[in-house]
Amino acid sequence: MQKKNTRRIVFHEITQTAIQEAILHPRDIDTHLVDAQQARRVLDRIVGFELSPVLWKKVTTGLSAGRVQSVAVRLIVEKEREIEAFRASSAYRIIADFIGANPADASVLRCELNHKFSHRNDAQAFLESLTTGRFMISDIQRRPVHRTPAPPFTTSTLQQEAARKLHFPVSKTMRLAQSLYESGHITYMRTDSVNLSHLALTTSRQVITEQYGAQYARTRNYHTHSKGAQEAHEAIRPTYMTHLQAGANRDEQRLYELIWQRTIASQMADAESEKTTIEVGISGCKYSFVATGEVVSFDGFMRVYVQSSDEQEEEHRILPAMSLHERLRLQEAQAIQTYTHPPYRFNEATLVKRMEELGIGRPSTYATIIETIQHVKYVERGSVAGQKRDTTILTLRNGQISERRKSETYGSETQRLLPTDLGRITNDFLVANFPDILSYDFTANEELQFDRIAEGKADWVETVDRFYKQFEPIVSSIPSGKVAGRLLGNDPETGLPVIAKISKIGPCVQLGDAANDKPRFASLQKGQSLFSITLQDALELFREALPKTLGRLGEEDVVLGEGKYGPYIRYGKTFISIPRGTDPMSVTMEQAVQLIRERQEAETPVHQWGDIAVLHGRYGDYIRTPQGNYQLPKTTDAAALTQAEAEQIIATSSPAPQKRFYGRKK
């Protein structure tokens, strides 16, 4: 292929007009962009191909590392450790309800004190002081508030908003967006640009005017400010703004509706409101009560779309009519004990947001990265159960203070990205030995370097070569031997060391030193971690560890064990898998005997004619021969089958294909 004879056509939407326009205006191939992509691909392969074998030797087989995925795991691990190190502190916030001095005025003004008390006694003393206090509105401020719409979607903002509003995983969002793009409903979904074409701006204004009125229309041009952004594409938008709905199924329709709303809202007028702040002074006190409220005077873009937030939304309420220096009466006041909150764990949306803020990777790769770190078991998506605690509430009413306790659940989170023990150990090893590669700045700076190559300001071969000459000596210097486990102590009975570590069977505890003893292993149970398990917990696991004898049946022991393909019952030379979903530690002797009897019945032929046998199988009755197994028709009665009929089935049909067993997922 000769460069002079090769042209490139560019289109951002699969429509007849866009494709015809692209064909009429072909472009030359930008070799700088090709070089930048080549540099990114080669550097990623160097990191992945060099680091992954190191992890196989140091941690366990089957692991992978990557320039971006390893940094994503680091973000999640460090967030978890930040939460573990967090220590909550309590304070008392004061809430008060006031009514006007006129008994006929029943409207209530709820306020909060502009100070919190660290100790219960201080909060109670303050409530007692309110019984003799006088209250007056000391200040009223009203100011207009203008809210502007969010820009149209980029890849990362679409992923974040679909996760918040539609609860879609990032991978699902990209899969649905790909389908909408291929069907010609939306523009290209891998973009970090917020620009809209002139055609999109014009048609959006027409739709807004027709649907909501001319006062709602306001044409806006947005510009990308995110780190390392490339504005080669348009923002994600419907190809035809006049199409209010599109999609082959309900999920596609919901995502299209979100994209349409966001695009239309970006071209609408500001929302206007009036925010009111009322301050209530307390005689002889340096603190004051404050109430805030907001009244929307023109909804603007909010009529169509309001961007969601990871933070708690501010309460917007209408305050009762009050006048400056108006006297108030205290109806009730409460001192409510509250606790500081630990940082929130990442979900897929907040992880995408953080990676984009740091300039790590490209938005088009985030879905694959999040999927990969879950696939290799560095991270799992799950929920965290909350814990109970009691809070104190002091209430002042009619001059009397009463106290009550209230139970609350704290710390519960759903659909969060949680680091596994494997993820933590792998991350700690990489951070300790490859601090530059795992640095947030390094990963972001490499992206900037790729941008310089794309602009023709750097040579891609020199860039990659410089990186490799610094990276390869570090890889070569890593000593052999597995990552040391965590020593929990020694077994009081044998004196052998007890170690928490990662092994071929996953997170486990080891009794004995592999160099001097033949160690025993016990897998960790659900909810246990290598980083928090105690010596006592580990010794308990060994007492319950598999294999263990459940009892004796006839002349043979019935043994419960766990192997490469999962837990099993061993009876003589027969191995029977424990049904999927059953906790092996809960299996009783009676259940094991039942499984053995079922296996024996299944292996006892209904008929036997030399090499031909008729048996009851797990998936139906079948004929077993040296050449293979032949499934019986469902209407055939196996008990009444004759030898001639069996031979006829064998002669007129093919044996069932042998099923390959790939092992059992734990």
Query: For the chain, give me the number of helices (H) and strands (E)?
Result: 16, 22
Sign (positive or negative) of CA dihedral 495, 500, 502, 504: positive
Give dist(CA 412, CA 397) in Å, integer: 34
Q: What are phi and psi of 72, to 5 degrees?
A: -65, -40
Structural contact between residues 512 and 518, judged by C-beta atoms closer than 8 angstroms: yes
Query: Would you state the structure tokens that stand for residue 405, as one six-digit string?
Result: 């306790």
Q: By C-alpha distance, which of 46, 54, 2 is closest to 28?
A: 2
CA distance 427 to 63: 12
Q: Strands 108-113 and 135-147, how do they pair?
A: unpaired
Close Cβ partners of 659 (under 8 Å, ≥ 6 residues apart): none
Annotation marks residue 662 as catalytic: no
Closest to 59 in 3D by CA, of 517, 514, 504: 504
DSSP state string for 172-186:
HHHHHHHHHHHTTSB
| Structure tokens that stand for 30 in this block | 């930008």
Q: Which of 188, 366, 568, 622 is catalytic?
A: 188
Give all strands (DSSP E) within 475-536, no chain letters.
486-490, 497-503, 506-511, 520-523
Task: Give the amino acid at 372.
Answer: T
Q: What are phi and psi of 398, to 5 degrees?
A: 55, 35
> Torsion over CA of 322, 326, 330 and 335, rounded to 10 degrees?
70
Q: Which of 335, 205, 336, 339 is nearest to 264 (CA)?
A: 205
281 and 166 in contact (C-beta within 8 Å)? Answer: no
Calpha distance 537→523 (Å, rounded) = 12
10 Å Cβ neighbour count for 477? 8
What is the SS3 assignment for 335? strand
Largest CA distance in the chain: 108
Give me 588's structure tokens: 């009783």
Q: Which helix (H) or strand (E) holds 84?
A: helix 69-85
Count of alpha carbons within 13 angstroms of residue 466, beta-carbon side: 9
Query: Alpha carbon of 536 to those of 68, 393, 499, 628: distances in Å?
Result: 39, 39, 12, 52
Catalytic residue numbers read: 188
